[in-house]
């Protein structure tokens, strides 16, 4: 027997904590995985470098490099909220029209179709209502994801961008060795993401990630270093995969 879920029970998961509206161009902070409207988050980061929800420091100087468009979340919101996508596109077109400009989304559609005189292709919503219940059930399962899944999501947030092959080796007898030491993840993932991944696997608690150090060539890596930065600065002239070591944190 299928159970229907009312939209209002999901509002806390699909609304922006800044504007209190439904996500538009949903954008996720890769450090903590909190999501906001893109325009809301970018405006916030013009004056701050912390997450509006948990106040974690995203990056000391370049926080905008650690946010990413969350296509999955945005698709879920558009499926769940009736007419939101059409009304938002209309408002955006009106905004650019009053300023004598072409709406970027229309321009992208025209380029994709290969003609400047064509009408923008509208999304096919024939099966939307039929799929709403399936999407709702999938979203309910998504909200119950374990923290390990959240870390995996962070490691693959930039799934369309460059990837890095990484070998994680244990450098201490007091920690368990990962069952699978080889992973492939986004080049934009940070050392903190790897710490959380390892903590969940070997310490049975993602909150214990601060108890782990990660090294490359016996050099301690900073928590905000991206794997791309580590690869270029520590592994540039070596054969892949990028080899990193983890150990219990040493208090100096």
Is 170 found in the same domain as 52? Answer: no
CATH code, 203: 3.10.20.90
CATH code, 67: 3.30.40.10
Q: Which of 42-56, 58-72, 94-108, 109-123 has the lowest mean pLDDT?
A: 109-123
Per-residue model confidence as pLDDT tens digits over 35-63: 999 999 999 998 899 999 999 999 888 88
**Between residues 123 and 178, the one the model is more confident about:** 178
**Between residues 5 and 167, the one the model is more confident about:** 167
Integer Cα distance of 216 and 232 in angstroms:
12
Three-state DSSP class for 251?
coil
- Triad 180, 185, 191: Cα angle to 5°: 90
For 117, 149, 169, the CA distances from 145, given in Å and listed in that order, are 45, 6, 27
77: in domain = yes
Question: Is the pLDDT at 17 greater than 90, yes or no?
Answer: yes
Is 160 found in the same domain as 65? Answer: no
1: in domain = no
Q: Which domain holds residue 222?
A: 147-248
Per-residue model confidence as pLDDT tens digits over 76-90: 999 999 999 999 999
> b/e for 162-179, b at 16 or more Cβ within 10 A?
ebbebebebeeeebeebe
Three-state DSSP class for 247?
strand
Integer Cα distance of 23 and 76 in angstroms:
10
2: in domain = no
Is 82 found in the same domain as 40? Answer: yes
The tally of domains found in the chain comes to 2
Per-residue model confidence as pLDDT tens digits over 179-231: 889 998 888 889 999 999 999 999 988 889 999 999 999 999 998 899 989 99
Is 223 found in the same domain as 182? Answer: yes
178: in domain = yes
- pLDDT for the residue 116: 45
Helix (H) or strand (E) holding 227: helix 227-234
Is 72 found in the same domain as 110? Answer: yes
Integer Cα distance of 62 and 17 in angstroms:
22
Integer Cα distance of 186 and 60 in angstroms:
21
Is 53 found in the same domain as 19? Answer: yes
């Amino acid at each position: 027997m299928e159970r229907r879920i009312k939209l209002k029970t999901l509002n806390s998961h699909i609304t922006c904590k800044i504007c209190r509206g439904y996500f538009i161009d949903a954008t996720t902070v890769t450090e903590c995985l909190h999501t906001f409207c893109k325009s809301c988050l970018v405006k916030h980061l013009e004056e701050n470098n912390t997450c509006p929800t948990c106040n974690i420091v995203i990056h000391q100087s370049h926080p905008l490099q650690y946010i990413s468009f969350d296509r999955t979340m945005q698709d879920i919101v558009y499926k769940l909220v009736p007419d939101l996508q059409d009304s938002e596109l209309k408002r955006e077109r009106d905004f650019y029209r009053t300023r004598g400009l072409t709406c970027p989304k229309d321009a992208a559609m025209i380029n994709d179709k290969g003609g400047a005189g064509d009408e923008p292709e509208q999304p096919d919503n024939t099966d939307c209502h039929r799929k709403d219940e399936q999407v709702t059930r999938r979203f309910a399962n998504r909200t119950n994801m374990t923290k390990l899944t959240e870390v995996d999501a962070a490691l693959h947030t930039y799934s369309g961008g460059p990837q890095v092959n990484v070998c994680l080796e244990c450098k201490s007898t007091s920690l368990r060795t990962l069952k699978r030491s080889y992973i492939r993840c986004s080049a934009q993932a940070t050392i903190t993401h790897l710490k959380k991944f390892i903590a969940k696997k070997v310490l049975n608690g993602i909150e214990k990630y601060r108890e782990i150090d990660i090294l490359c060539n016996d050099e301690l890596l900073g928590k905000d270093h991206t794997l791309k930065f580590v690869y270029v600065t520590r592994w540039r002239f070596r054969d892949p995969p990028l080899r990193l070591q983890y150990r219990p944190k040493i208090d100096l």
